[in-house]
Structure 1
Amino acid sequence: MNQISPLERAIEYIEHHLNENIGLSDVSRETGYSYYHMTRLFSSVLGESVGRYINRRRLYNASEKLIHSNQRVIDIALDCGFQSPEAFSRAFKAAFGSSPVEYRRAGLDLVVNAKRELLPEDVAHIAANISRSPEFVTREETRIAGLRGTTSLSDNRLPALWEEFLRLHKGLKDLFPPPGAGYGICETQQTTYTKDGDILFAVMVGSPVDDFDHLPPALSLEQKVLRAGRYAVFTHRGTFANLVKTYQYIFGTWLPTAGVELDDREDFEVYEREVLSFDDPSNEVKIFIPIK
Structure 2
Amino acid sequence: MHYLDQVQAAIDYIERHIEEELALEPGLVARQAGLSQWHFQRIFRALSNETLKSYIRSRRLSNAMHKLVSSNERVLEIALAAGFESQESFSRAFKKAFDMTPGEARKRDARTFLYRKLRIDADYLQHLHRHIASHEPQIIAMPARCFVGMETTFFSIDSERDNIAEKLPPLWDAFVPRMGEIEGAVPQWAFGIIAQSEAKTDKLRYLAACEVPEDSVKALPPGMQLWRLPARRYARFEHRGETTLLNNTVNYIYSSWLLSAPFRHSLDADVEEYGPDFQPGSPESRITYTIPLADDAPAI
TM range (shorter): 0.7 to 0.9
State the match for 1:17 in structure 2: 17
1:191–1:202 contact (8 Å) kept in structure 2 = no
Are 1:185 and 1:205, in contact at CA under 8 Å, matched by a contact in 2?
yes
Residue from 32, 53, 56 that aligns with 1:54: 56
AA partner of residue 101 (structure 2): Y
Deviation for aligned residue 1:207: 1.1
Deviates more, 1:123-132 or 1:160-169: 123-132
Per-residue CA deviations over 1:118-152 (Å, capped at 9, x if unaligned) read 23354543355241101111111211111112243
The match for 2:289 is 287
Q: 1:155 aligns with which of 148, 157, 163?
A: 163
Over 3 Å counting, the alpha-carbon distance change for 1:136 and 1:95 in structure 2 is farther
Quote the Cα distance in structure 1 between the aligned partners of 2:133 and 2:116: 25
Does the C-alpha gap of structure 1 residues 79 and 34 become closer, same or farther in structure 2, counting only changes over 3 Å? same
Distance 1:285 1:7, change over 3 A: farther
Selected match of 1:188 from 174, 182, 196: 196
| 8 Å CA contact 1:162, 1:205 repeated in 2 | yes
Q: Give distance in 1, aligned partners of 2:199 and 2:151.
A: 14
In the superposition, relative to structure 1, how do residues 164 and 274 fare at CA in structure 2: closer, same or farther (>3 Å)?
A: farther
TM-score normalised to structure 2 length: 0.75
SS at match of 2:101: helix
Alpha-carbon distance in structure 2 between the residues aligned to 1:176 and 1:91: 59
Deviation, structure 1 residue 77: 3.0
Shift of 1:168: 1.8
Paired with 1:78 and 1:66, the residues of 2 have a C-alpha distance of 13
Return the alpha-carbon distance in structure 1 between the equivalents of residues 271 and 224 of structure 2: 19
**For 1:229-248, what aligned pairs fall within 5 Å after superposition?**
229-248=232-251
Structure 2: distance between partners of 1:72 and 1:252: 40
1:165 corresponds to which residue? 175
| C-alpha distance in 1 between matches for 2:15 and 2:126 | 18
> Once the two structures are superposed, what CA deviation does each residue of 1:48-98 show, in whole Å capped at 9, x if it has no partner?
543343233223332454466542123213443x2xx51675466467559
Q: Structure 1 CA distance, aligned partners of 2:87 and 2:178?
A: 48
C-alpha change, 1:273 and 1:190, in structure 2 (3 Å) is: farther
RMSD: 3.4
CA 1:274/1:206 → structure 2, altered by over 3 Å: closer, same or farther?
farther
Residue identity matched to 1:213: K
Query: Where do residues 197-212 of structure 1 align in structure 2 (5 Å cutoff)?
Result: 200-210=203-213, 211-212=216-217
**Distance 1:64-1:161 versus aligned 2 partners, 3 A rule:** farther
Change (3 A) 1:103 1:200: farther
Q: Secondary structure, in 3 states, of the residue corresponding to 2:283?
A: coil
Shift of 1:189: 3.7
Q: Contact between 1:135 and 1:233, CA under 8 Å: does it hold in 2? A: yes
Q: TM-score, normalised by structure 1?
A: 0.77
Q: In structure 1, what residue type is equivalent to 2:240?
A: R
Alignment match, 2:258: 255
Does 1:267 find its partner at 2:270?
yes
Distance 1:274 1:167 in 2: 19
Structure 1 pair 190/259, CA: closer, same or farther in 2 (3 Å)?
A: same
More RCO (CA 8 Å, sep 6+): 1
Distance 1:224 1:91 in 2: 46
Residue identity opposite 2:102 in structure 1: R
Secondary structure of 1:203's counterpart equals strand
Runs of 5+ unmatched residues, structure 2: 295-300
| Contact 2:36-2:200 at 8 Å conserved across structures | no
CA contact 2:156–2:163 (8 Å) conserved in 1: yes
* Alpha carbons 1:41, 1:251 under 8 Å: kept: yes
